[in-house]
Each structure stands twice: as structure tokens, then as C-alpha cells.
Amino acid sequence: MDHAGQDATSVFVPIHPSDTLEKNLPPEKHLGTLDKASIQELRASVKDKGKTRDELRVEEAIKVKPSLSRMINIQDIEETAKNLLPYKAMTYYASAADDSISHTENSRAFSRFFFHPRVMKAVSGVDPSTLMLGYKSSIPVYISGSALARLGHPLGEVNLTRGAYLTGILQMVSSNTSLSYRQIAVARGSPDQPLFFQLYKHKNDLSAARRIKEVESLGYKAIFLTVDALIPSNRELDTRAPHYLEDYENQGKNIRPTAVNEAVEINTLGTAGGLVASNDTDMTWEKTIPWIRSVTKLPIVIKGIQCVQDAVLAAEAGCEGIVLSNHGGRQLEYSLPPMEVLYKLRNERPDVFTKTEVYIDGGVRRGTDVLKALCLGARMVGLGRAFLFAQSAYGEAGVVHLVRILEREIKFGMASLGVRTVDQLVPDLVERVDWQPLNPKL
């Protein structure tokens, strides 16, 4: 509504796939082609409007952006990206629920696990490759489904897909991409490149079925049903973004906000709120999994398992995989870190690992984090924000560079642990401790 009667291209394109209007707007609502005179008038008005302070800040940040060769770990890439992203994009990518406690603890949880390295083992030719749902990955890391990549870079998800192909890793594509599912499929390096689909199930079964059939026809290889983000959460950094930008743009101007004394309802939806407005909030094990089976023969993975009991139910329901995840700490505050859930699952129900593939995402910062998860039984580890930041700052090359960083760290860690292949990473190689080392970055 802020752009009613105006050219809304700049705010529409980064968060809507190119086929949005065709899929969601009835033909009778299509008013026709804009005439050339109107197009010129709109372009002129944009030019006359000038650039915002935030746009000028981004331009200056890009001029002094460090070379990619100076990015030696995930933290370097994230800090660089945050400095040069538009503020709205940065707050969407970085935001977490409430006081960011779950988000912070996701990373801290890994620091409670220490290794028992074995020495005098033959470790030449370390091979970190593995399989996920039968598809090979060069390292035990995949790109987790993350929405709106074009907020950070014009090519958005294409950077992720091409980077995944060049490095031989796997990609899960979000329901809420800023490119169409077809555009992403076309961007694959070869027709054989596997893509998985993260499904936010629509409350209307017909709409949900159309989405599943569409991605299946495009060659996507699995459905990752997201179950931990059904309703909008309280992501305050994202919510405050418009207020910050308003104050930032008005710096130096004699403008005071209008005082409003009566109680008003605060809009906490932010960028993310509209993405989940149509989600099915009545999914059940008894109803939803059989329904998806009736629609597709693709493997089903449940993304967002946060306790041992639900991991067991997913295995009993015959799901081909589960992702232990609290949505990157972006949904329910004080949900357990996935690494702690993995540890509990290994101790309480080790049989689950023989019945279904177990993955984990959230809080991974280093190759050693990946190895700790694999020692406890995880087959693969997903990263979302890290890849968004990498492609935002450096495009496709940033995605490749991030994978190479993780590959180097994982290979070093495997050799140091005395293992050559990922199947040699076993629980005896890690120990959970009741204290944590001092880490100023957490």
C-alpha cells in the first residue's frame, strides 16, 4: 500500500518470483500492458527521486569490499555481507526470535562437545563425500532452504544453484524463493543436478498439490516438509527495520514523529510475516503424511524436528529423512539447540538412525561443528544464512568459496581425528562436557 499508484518494481522484484502474477492473480485482474509514455514517466520520477541514504551507504560499502581471498572463515563472509547489504535485507537474513537466545545457543551448543582424536591411523586420501537420499555430495553439507535470496543479490537463488553444481554439493530450494522454481531448475549445471524442495504446505490442499506437482515435473528429487514455522514469529530486528530506515533517512532534518497516545496494534510481521500467511496450521502425522504420499512418490523429509518423540513419530510414519532444526532460532524462543536434540536422540533412541536419515541445521560455524554432528549420527548438515550471506556479498563465487572453506576444515578435522571416510565418524570420537570454553565470537 505504501507504493499504491506508483512503480513498485524495486520492492516487488526481490521478494516475488517472476511468475507470481500469473499464478496468483486471476486473468480478469490483468489490466494490460503499460504504455510507453507511462513507463518513461515512471522512470523519470525514479531518477528525480534520487537515492536514499541507505542506498548511498551500500554503494560506498561495495567500493571498499574486501577481496574474496581475504575471507578465510564463515564469520568473515557474514560480517562483510552485513556491512554491504541493504538494511532491510540484512535484518531479514539476520533476525531471530525474541531475544535471539535460541539463535545464539544453536552455535554455543557445539562448544559443549569435544573430540577424542585417534592417532597413528592411516589418513592419506581423506574423502569427505557422502550420500543424501541416495545422491552424492562432495562434503556432508547441503544448502538449506532459505527464502528471498534476491534481497541480497540480483541473481539470488541462481547463485546458490550454480555454486552447488560447481562444488558438487546438494541444494534444498525454499517454497518462498525470489525466483520461480522453473528458473532455478533451468539454472542447474546439468539436468542430473539434484534439487530438493522445502515445502510450506498451503492450507488449501489443491494449492499445495499443484505446488508439489509443479516441482516434481521440474525434476526436484524430494519434499522437505517444514513443520516448525507455521505462523509468524516475533523477529524484532526485522520488525524494527522500517522505523530504523525512517530515522536514518531523516537524520539532520527537523522532523519529529507524530505523537500517538492511544494504544495501537504493533505490526510485527516484518518481511517474513507474509510468507507464512497461508500455511496449513492443522497438519498431523495421521493426516498430512498419507496425503503427501497420495500426491507424489518423492521421498518425504520432515524439516523442523525439535524433540526425540517427534523424531520417533517421523520414523514410524515412514519418512525417508528428518531435519533436526529450530528454524535457525527464528521461531520459538528457548527451543533446544538441534545439536542437543541430536545428542538426546543418539542416547535415547539410537534405533531411529537405522530407520531414517537424520540431518541437522542451525548454528554451524566450522567444519568441526559438522564433524561433531556426524559423529553423533547425522548424515548431513545444512547451512542457510551462511550461503545467503556468501551469495549476497560475492555472488556465485562466494558460494563456491564458502564450500571450499568448509571442505578444507572438514578434511583437516577428519585427518586429525584419524578417519578417512565419513562412515568412520562414530560416537566414541566425541564427548559432551558440562562446561564451555570462552569464545568471544559467540
Nearest partner of 197 among 165, 224, 219, 177, judged by Cα: 224
Identify whether the C-beta of residue 384 lies closer than 8 Å to the C-beta of residue 425.
no
200 is in an annotated binding site: yes
| Of 12-21, 124-133, 235-244, 382-391, the least confident | 12-21
Q: What is the pLDDT of residues 52-65, one digit of tens each?
A: 999 999 999 999 99
384 is in an annotated binding site: yes
Q: Where is pLDDT greater, at 277 or 308?
A: 308
Calpha distance 436→15 (Å, rounded): 40
Q: What are phi and psi of 380, to 5 degrees?
A: -145, 160
Q: Where is pLDDT greater, at 417 or 262?
A: 417
Calpha distance 217→289 (Å, rounded): 20
- Mean pLDDT (whole number) for 323-344: 96
Q: What is the pLDDT of residues 199-230, one digit of tens each?
A: 999 999 999 999 999 999 999 999 999 999 99
92 is in an annotated binding site: yes
Q: What is the pLDDT of residues 64-90, one digit of tens each?
A: 999 999 999 999 999 999 999 999 999
- Put residue 364 in one of left, alpha, beta given phi > 0 → left and psi -120 to 50 → alpha: beta
Options 16, 103, 327, 401, the catalytic residue? 327
Q: 242 Cβ partners below 8 Å, 6+ apart?
A: none
398 has a pLDDT exceeding 80? yes
Cell numbers at residue 381, please? 548438515
Q: What is the mean pLDDT of the chain?
A: 91
* Torsion, CA 103, CA 104, CA 105, CA 106, rounded to 10: 50
325 is in an annotated binding site: yes
334 is in an annotated binding site: no
pLDDT computed for residue 270 by the predictor: 62
Q: What CATH code is assigned to 98-233+275-432?
A: 3.20.20.70
211 is in an annotated binding site: no
Please indicate whether residue 16 is annotated as part of the active site: no
- Ranges of H-type helices in 25-156: 36-49, 53-63, 74-84, 87-94, 101-110
* Torsion, CA 287, CA 290, CA 291, CA 294, rounded to 10: -160
pLDDT computed for residue 214 by the predictor: 97
330 is in an annotated binding site: yes
98 is in an annotated binding site: no
pLDDT computed for residue 441 by the predictor: 65
116 is in an annotated binding site: no
Domain boundaries in the chain? Answer: 98-233+275-432
362 is in an annotated binding site: yes
State the burial class of residue 269 (Cβ atoms within 10 Å of its Cβ: 0-12, 13-18, 19+).
middle
Cell numbers at residue 191, please? 539436468
274 is in an annotated binding site: no
Number of C-beta neighbours around residue 151 at 10 A: 21
Cell numbers at residue 263, please? 494504544
Number of C-beta neighbours around residue 261 at 10 A: 5
Calpha distance 312→314 (Å, rounded): 5
382 is in an annotated binding site: no
Burial state string for 320-348 with b = 16 or more CB within 10 A and e = fewer than 16:
bbbbbbbbbbbbbbebbbbbbbbbbbbee
| Residue recorded with cell 537420499 | 133
Nearest partner of 227 among 309, 170, 339, 310, judged by Cα: 310
Calpha distance 312→252 (Å, rounded): 59
Calpha distance 345→310 (Å, rounded): 10
364 is in an annotated binding site: yes
- Give me the half-sphere count of Cα atoms (radius 13 Å) on the Cβ side of residue 146: 34
| Residue recorded with cell 553444481 | 165
Q: What is the pLDDT of residues 250-306, one digit of tens each?
A: 777 776 666 666 666 666 666 655 667 789 999 999 999 999 999 999 999 999 999
pLDDT computed for residue 16 by the predictor: 79
pLDDT computed for residue 258 by the predictor: 62
Output Rg (C-alpha) for the chain, integer angstroms: 23
Cell numbers at residue 300, please? 518425504
Strand partners, 118: none
Pairing, β 130-132 against β 321-324: unpaired
Q: Read off the pTM.
A: 0.90
Identify whether the C-beta of residue 389 lies closer than 8 Å to the C-beta of residue 402.
no
